[in-house]
């Protein structure tokens, strides 16, 4: 786990093939988002492609900071990784809890509220990434032995 915090780019870059595999296996599946009377449809393969690009940018950002011998905050790394991958895991679990029967409308509304709050928390977690990069650029360089 310590290697994960020292090299956070590994988890982001290794997640890209997994995300792309999910996109390929999803076929023609569509994510539909209902906002009042409007439905927004996003194809899963487009969503996974967009997620892979974002993970690639984040992974390359962490990698450049390490190669530039800049020290990032370990606590900000933990928060960013935890909110990103923990949020994804929680969303996948909560998505399976939706009920189809019309009698469970109140339950689904509450579940939708929880999912929305988790997505907002994940977005806040992504704001931590540039803050950590700026912190690493401002802080003095790592002292290397030799």
**Residue 144 covered by a domain:** no
Buried b (16+ CB within 10 A) or exposed e, 65-78: bbeeebebbeebbe
- What does pTM read for this prediction? 0.80
Residue 124 CA: distances (Å) to CA of 1, 6, 65, 84, 133: 23, 22, 21, 10, 15
Which residues span the domain enclosing 120? 2-138
Q: Which pair of tokens denotes residue 93?
A: 């679990």
**Residue 86 covered by a domain:** yes
What pLDDT is recorded for position 144?
54
> How many domains does one find in the chain?
1
**Residue 94 covered by a domain:** yes
Half-sphere exposure (Cβ direction) of 26: Cα atoms closer than 13 Å: 18
Digits of tens for pLDDT over the chain (146 positions)? 677 777 889 999 999 999 999 888 888 888 777 777 788 888 888 989 999 999 999 999 999 998 988 888 889 999 999 999 999 999 888 878 776 666 666 777 788 888 889 999 999 999 999 999 999 999 866 555 44
Residue in this structure with the two tokens 């409007």, named with its chain if needed = 38
């Amino acid at each position: 786990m310590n290697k994960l915090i020292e090299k956070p780019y590994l988890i982001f870059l290794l997640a890209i093939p997994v995300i792309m595999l999910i996109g390929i296996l999803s076929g023609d599946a569509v994510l539909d988002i209902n906002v009042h009377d409007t439905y927004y449809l996003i194809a899963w393969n487009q969503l996974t492609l967009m997620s892979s690009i974002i993970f690639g940018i984040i992974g390359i950002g962490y990698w450049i900071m390490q190669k530039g011998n800049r020290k990032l905050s370990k606590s900000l790394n933990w928060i960013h990784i935890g909110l990103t991958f923990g949020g994804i895991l929680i969303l996948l679990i909560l998505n399976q809890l939706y009920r189809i029967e019309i009698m469970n409308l109140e339950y689904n509304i509450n579940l939708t509220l929880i999912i929305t709050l988790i997505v907002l928390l994940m977005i806040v977690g992504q704001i931590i990434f540039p803050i950590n990069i700026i912190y690493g650029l401002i802080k003095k360089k790592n002292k290397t032995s030799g």
